[in-house]
Amino acid sequence: MPESNRPLEAAGNLDRRTFFHRASDGIHGAALAYLLGGDLFGSSLLQGAESKHGSASQRRIYDLRPRQPHFEPKAKAVIQLFQNGGPSQTDLFDPKPMLDKHHGEPYFDKIAVDVSSPQSAGGLMRSPFKFKQHGDSGIWLSDAMPHLAGEVDKIAVIRSMFNSHPNHEPALFKIHSGRLLPGRPSMGAWVAYGLGTENQNLPAYVVFDDPLGLPVNSVQSWQSGFLPPVYQGTRLRTNGSPILNLKPDFEQPTEVTRLERDLLSRLDAVHRQKRPGQLQLDARISSYELAARMQLEATDALDLKQESQKTLEMYGVGDKTTDSYARRCLMARRLVERGVRFVQIFINGQIWDNHTNLKRSLLSACNRTDKPAAALLRDLKQRGLLDETLVIWGGEFGRLPIAQIRDPKNTAGAGRDHGPRGFSLWMSGGGIKPGVSHGETDEIGFAAQEKPVSIADWHATILHLLGMHHEQLFFRRNGLNQKLTSIYKPKIVKEVLL
Amino acid sequence: MIDRLLDSPRYGERWGRKWLDLAGYADSEGKRSADPIRPFAYKYRDYVIRAFNADKPYDRFLLEQIAGDELADYAGAKEITQPLLDNIIATGFLRMAPDGTGSDVVNRVPERVEVVSDELDIFGSVVLGLTLKCARCHSHKYDPIPQRDYFRLVAVFKGAFDEHDWLKPASVVGQSKSKTPGRVLPLAMDQERKEQDAFNKQLDEKIKADKAKLEALADKLRREHEEKQLAKLPEELRDDLRKMLATPAKNRDEVQAYLAGKFEKTLRLSKDQLGDITKYKAETRNSSLRVRTLEGQRQKEPQVRALWDRGEPSPTYVYRRGDHLQPGKLVGPGVPAALTDGKTSFDPKPPFPGAKSTGRRLALARWLVEPDHPLTSRVMVNRIWKGHFGEGIVRSTGNFGKLGARPTHPELLDWLAREFVARGWSIKAMHRLLMTSSTYRQQSTMTPQLETKDPENELLSRMPIRRLDAEEVRDSLLLVSGRLDERRFGRPDSVKVRGDGLVTSVGTDRGWRRSIYIQQRRKEILTVLETFDLPQMNPNCETRPNSTVAQQALYLMNNAMVHELAGRFAERIAKQASTPIDRIERLYMIALSRPPEAEELELNTKALADLTRQWTAELAEDKKSKASPEDKALASLCRAILNSAGFVYVD
């Protein structure tokens, strides 16, 4: 994609090359780069989130103990409702009367370079949904999301987001980890690295993937990249046991288990002591410690039987369409209540990737997610948790204003192709100013125009709400301070902050 | 010792697996949620293992995998020999990409072009160390590969991958009109056919025996019925009636015919009556279930999943922006210009007299294995290097292009590449060369000096410490506990999925086979393997991730199979040693190949005593258990060791 006509990100060929070079070297690199920082040997060089405050006791081992942010945070935890596939902005959040007016008119030539599948490109296409302003704030929403409409005064919609690649894989890497390529830590990993977590019996960074299937980039979506592996997302299951093998699959007296564990930890300590500087072994030891503690707490945390019937119904638990997503949303609340730092909810495959049958397929995606997501906002609010919990909703990009017609015989089955230049997402709670619409796309909703927000801006804003400065949250590696926002100079989106 | 290891049949299973990762080996088609099974894919897996074990020269290995069908006339051959069969099986390399075109709705030109694109990506990154993908839609931005070159390569493969003349993979049930798979050739050696016939004959006998058993039951029931009915009739008639029943209708005399007319109907057990008898009904059901199960095992005509040139491919056009609806310039077959001397023309000829095939892939393969090819040997020695040292000399093993990493030791790479060719492309020779080097014989100890001078080990100042990979974890657990079934090759063992998502392999009374012989579906990966980072093949895997997560700990601590194996391990040790100290030493020798150090011995001795005491108390309350406290305690100790870092990490 040419970089003109929209906000430029520094291209940095050289940096890409160095990045790529590093993308491949995984844990050893991470471990050793950490040592380069010298924590283990008492050097005064401090890293990342600690550098600002310079805590008295230096970090000797990477763990998940809570750490001081750089400044007073607004949000203590994040729930990311990730909508893989690219929800269509002009059918959900960003009404474009011009599309109604010019419906069917050819437009391909003007945006040809951004169309992934030119062979199926049709003319401009109006939204099959009706838009209305809602709540006291008057935020626009289409009738595809009736439940969110009821909570609209709790959210801020950003309508001027843009990504820099029209394909899912790179765009997903970008929104999850800041660059178009694999191998970098995901946002959740950065947050866990920067802040640790309040509850040592649960993972800091929890991922609920959809039992129906993994997202496009699979487990790479929550990887820790060059950060120590202790910060990578922990997948929890929502059906059956939350984590496979969480409980012994056999019967054994507790005291025997305790003696076994005791021996194991002593042997591992001996093993570790003889091998200084091997960070993999530290990560492994803490993974055993976490495993043992999780056995006690995870089951309880994810037990939805403890919820009232009213709450279950509010989320849509038990209703075939919403049940799966509702469970994940409700579990996310229960985890955040217990001090988990970052919860990420995925949905299977690409339900928002509405290349065909726009109305039907988009509605189906909304029907599965709208009610649970709205309920999560209401529930957090009722419990007084919304003020310190940042909820973010959105996908990797948006969709084009023109129709995509895969089968010329069936124009009614038209959908929309990927549109990275402009898309919408919303944020709520945790220091977000409610009832705000920020930024604009052009008159047909193709590209961000007014107050464009880059992915790096957005990342920086999220870190800011968590009390961290994006420049100060870094990991020193090969002489470079690696950051979530990479080489970019992002602007915090102040307009959406309280 | 190196020779012993290289001669072990396990060598091919371990290093072959690395190649299978690169090829993207899977026993299923992927793409669609049905994930249909590829019934004959395992032959390619076996081929790779055999090739590594036999140290098949790498140039030959590539020739077979890129153009095995054009190496010799398999169709006209009088006898199918192993080498001839291997040529064809090897082309399975080009049939490994995920492919949804077994479903009619996505068996259209664009989806076919996708499959070809995946295959070319695998070919490009694995063999050439080049990312070709970019050049499909536009000239490569960083490497000197114009879009034209990409389509010249497409043309090379066109005789086999023709999006306008497509052979279908395994069908997705319910989504495909035709059921006949298009990618198999009915080739087999006589030996295989014989084995198969013998197997099927055995099946027939079992089925026959089963049916006979059912018939015997029916006979018994009939006789019982007859006797019961006869008992109701006057005694003097009974003998005559019995004779009548025993005589076939056409042989009966007049009297018998008369008796038959009068009594046969009441005496005989009718089909309906028979069917109503509970015992018979149940037995019929059981028998038909058994027969169905047996029929399911019937081996069909042996086939090979392969790729072959079918001659007369459609013309190849440069697809503008990769779009098949926008054909541009016509191109002929060729290799990337940047990799040639610019003079020699790419000149495919039919490979043997009377061949239908174009010979294009054979020409490509021959070009690849020319001794002075700039990439082929470098890419492979780099991979061998990575296999030993954890990282390649070029760290991005599948990308030698501009966006890839610079080599850390360029001269070394060049020298190794030349040695590789000079030593007849022998992979084992390279193992010997690397493993006898002083670099390889270094320890993994970290020192403050190494941490400052060579933090990322780019200078190879030490051996990296390494976690066992997924297969090694599972296979080692089976091995130490004496439950590893070393049967090699053949159909993969199936997996089963428990309600909560746990995927396990189905074992036999001989134990479980090595992980490489377990069915590798794209959607159902053995939990233990997935937990320890076995990747989903999409389309292949250049480098496995290396994660350290709580799930691994949970698996080793709580999984029922690990628990069972620890018990077996303990039984094995108990047979070999009796005193606590002897047992601990045996345990260490088997699990960690070294005796315990003093500190470890002390810890284990104390733990064993504590555990024995604890188990004595526990078992005192449990009268049913036959195991002794000592055995139970030893099993606990084994479990702790199987969980320990010493077992899972190699220094």
Give average pLDDT by consecutive 10-residue segment, chain B, 651 residues.
88 95 91 79 96 96 95 88 93 92 82 90 91 78 84 94 89 75 84 86 92 92 90 86 88 87 87 88 88 80 90 90 85 89 83 88 94 92 92 85 81 93 95 87 78 73 84 94 93 83 85 94 84 80 78 89 94 93 94 93 94 90 79 94 91 81
CB atoms B618 and A256 under 8 Å: yes
Inter-chain residue contact B456 with A25, CB threshold 8 Å: yes
Cβ separation A270–B600 shorter than 8 A = yes
d(CA A374, CA A325): 12
Judged by CB atoms closer than 8 Å, whether chains meet at A267 and B614 is answered as no
Q: How far is CA B455 from the centre of its chain?
A: 37
Which of chain B's residues have a Cβ under 8 Å away from the Cβ of A248? Answer: 557-558, 563
- Cβ-defined contact of A244 to B651 (cutoff 8 Å): no
Is A259 in the B-facing interface, judged by CB distances under 8 Å? yes
Task: Note if the pTM is more than 0.80.
Answer: no
Give DSSP secondary structure letters for B490-506.
SSPBPEEE-TTS-EEE-
On chain B, the residues whose CB falls within 8 A of the CB of A20 are: 396, 399, 403-405
Q: Which of A26, A268, A278 sits opposite B465 (nearest CB)?
A: A278
Q: Which of A264, A278, A284 sits opposite B446 (nearest CB)?
A: A278
Residues recorded for chain B: 651
Task: Calculate how close chain B gets to A109, using CA atoms only, in Å.
Answer: 14
pLDDT, position B412: 92
Q: Is residue B343 packed enough to be buried (19+ CB in 10 Å), middle (13-18) or exposed (0-12)? A: exposed
In DSSP notation, B224-261 reads HHHHHHHHTS-HHHHHHHHHHHHS-GGG--HHHHHHHH
Both tokens assigned to A195 = 């802040």
Yes or no, beta carbons of B651 and A275 under 8 Å apart = yes
3-state helix, strand, coil in chain B (%, to 5): 55, 5, 40
Q: From the CB of residue B408, how many other CB atoms can be counted at a distance below 10 Å?
A: 17
Q: Looking up tokens 């013309």, which residue turns up? A: B315
Rounded Cα distance between B532 and B552, Å, is 7
The residues in A 436-495 lying below 8 A from B, measured between CB atoms, are 478
**Segment holding A368, helix H or strand E:** helix A358-382
A58 at the B interface (CB within 8 A)? Answer: no
Q: What is the ipTM of this complex?
A: 0.78
Cβ contacts (< 8 Å) between B326 and chain A: which residues? 118-119
Q: Taking CA atoms, what residue in B is nearest to A288? A: B553
Residue A285: list chain B partners with CB under 8 A. 645
Q: Which of A20, A24, A264 sits opposite B644 (nearest CB)?
A: A264
Do B646 and A271 lie within an 8 Å CB cutoff? yes
Residue B213 CA to chain centroid, in angstroms?
Answer: 38
Give the nearest chain B residue to A217 (CA atoms). B538
Contacts of A297 in chain B (CB under 8 A): none
Put simply, the answer to whether B501 touches A259 (Cβ < 8 Å) is: no
Residues in B closer than 8 angstroms to A288, CB to CB, are 550, 553, 557, 643
Chain A nearest-CA residue for B531: A244
* Inter-chain residue contact A277 with B446, CB threshold 8 Å: yes
Q: Which residues of A touch B386 (CB under 8 A)?
A: none
What phi and psi values does residue B573 have, to the nearest 5 degrees?
-65, -40
Distance from the Cα of B217 to chain A's closest Cα (Å) equals 43
Q: Please report residues of A whose CB lies closer than 8 A to that of B327.
A: none
Q: In this complex, is the C-beta atom of A277 within 8 Å of any C-beta atom belonging to chain B?
A: yes
Q: Do A285 and B645 touch (CB under 8 A)?
A: yes
Tokens of B230: 């006869």
Residue B167: C-alpha distances to residues B40, B170, B306, B604 (Å) = 16, 10, 11, 61
| Interface list for A 83-122 with B (CB within 8 A) | 117-119
Instruction: Report whether the peptide linkage leading into residue B539 is cis, meaning its omega lies within 30 degrees of zero.
Output: yes
The shortest CB-CB distance from B640 to any of A29, A260, A278 is to A260
Cβ–Cβ of B649/A259 closer than 8 Å? Answer: no
Digitized pLDDT (tens) for each residue of chain A, 498 residues in all: 432 333 333 333 333 333 333 323 333 333 323 322 222 222 222 333 333 333 323 344 567 889 999 999 999 999 999 999 999 999 999 999 999 999 999 988 888 877 877 888 899 999 999 999 999 999 999 999 999 999 999 999 999 999 988 888 889 999 999 988 767 899 999 999 999 999 888 889 999 988 777 788 777 789 887 787 678 888 887 766 677 788 888 888 889 999 999 999 899 989 888 887 777 788 788 788 888 888 778 888 988 999 999 999 999 999 999 999 999 999 999 999 999 999 999 998 789 999 989 999 999 999 999 999 999 999 999 999 999 999 999 999 999 999 998 878 878 889 999 999 999 999 999 999 999 999 999 999 999 999 999 999 999 999 999 999 999 999 876 557 889 999 899 999 999 999
Of B397, B404, B551, the CB nearest to A20: B404
Q: How far apart are CA A190 and CA A231, in angstroms?
A: 8
Of residues B44, B52, B48, the one with CA closest to residue B89:
B44
Nearest to A191 by CA among A76, A283, A58, A81: A76
Partnered with residue A29 across adjacent β-strands are none
Burial of B39 (0-12, 13-18, 19+ CB in 10 A): middle
The alpha-helical segments, DSSP class H, found in B247-359 are 254-267, 271-276, 278-297
Q: Are A328 and A81 in contact (CB under 8 A)?
A: no
Name the residue facing B448 among A41, A220, A234 (closest C-beta): A41
As a whole number of angstroms, the distance between CA A67 and CA A88 comes to: 38
Closest partner residue to B640 among A247, A255, A267, by Cβ? A267
Nearest to B636 among A20, A246, A260 (CB): A260
Residues paired with A152 in a beta bridge: none
Q: Nearest C-alpha of chain B: how many angstroms from A494?
A: 37
The shortest CB-CB distance from B455 to any of A26, A36, A294 is to A36
Read off the tokens for B210.
């089963």
Question: Which among B323, B448, B548 has the least Cβ separation from residue A119?
Answer: B323
Chain B residue numbers with beta carbons less than 8 Å from the beta carbon of A266 are: 603
Decide if B456 and A278 are in contact by the 8 Å CB cutoff: no
Q: What is the dihedral of CA B287, B290, B291, B293, to 10 degrees?
A: 160
Question: How many cross-chain Cβ pairs, A to B, lie less than 8 Å apart?
Answer: 217
Which residues of chain B lie closer than 8 angstroms to A267, CB-CB? 600, 603-604, 640-641, 644-646
